[in-house]
Amino acid sequence: MTRKEALDDPQIAATAWARFRRIMAWMALGGGICVAAALFFLYWWTGGLPIHMAIATILGVWLTFMLGTGLMALAFLSSGTGHDEQVMDRLKDEVPLDD
């Protein structure tokens, strides 16, 4: 009988995904602060902003921030739950080591 590990265990998965959602919620707030800072800087530097520039800035800054945050949070999720250790390297015996 195989033992459930990492994200296969419902308790571990529920805890890990709750932590992931909590991290993403806080980082969404951080992304909003970055958007506000970018808009303030652009307004200070150029004066009034056209609506299309403001929308592009909001979407560009926030989506870029959230993409980076999401990818890093998923890496932490995978590593923190032991999911990375479950990967089988089928080529490890075929690759010569350079000693």
DSSP 8-state secondary structure symbol assigned to residue 48:
S
The pLDDT score that the predictor gives to residue 44 is: 92
Smallest CA-to-CA distance from 16 within 63, 71, 62, 78 is with 78
3-state secondary structure of 94: coil
- Per the model's pLDDT, the better-predicted residue between 96 and 38 turns out to be 38
- Tens of pLDDT, residue by residue over 24-79, are 999 999 999 999 999 999 999 998 889 999 999 999 999 999 999 999 988 888 77
**What is the pTM assigned to this prediction?**
0.69
- Per the model's pLDDT, the better-predicted residue between 1 and 97 turns out to be 97
Asked whether 80 and 4 are in contact (CB, 8 A), the reply is: no
Tokens found for residue 47: 């004066």
Asked whether 81 and 15 are in contact (CB, 8 A), the reply is: no
- Per the model's pLDDT, the better-predicted residue between 10 and 45 turns out to be 45
Residue 95 banded pLDDT, cuts 50, 70, 90: low
Residue 95 CA to residue 18 CA, distance in Å, equals 39
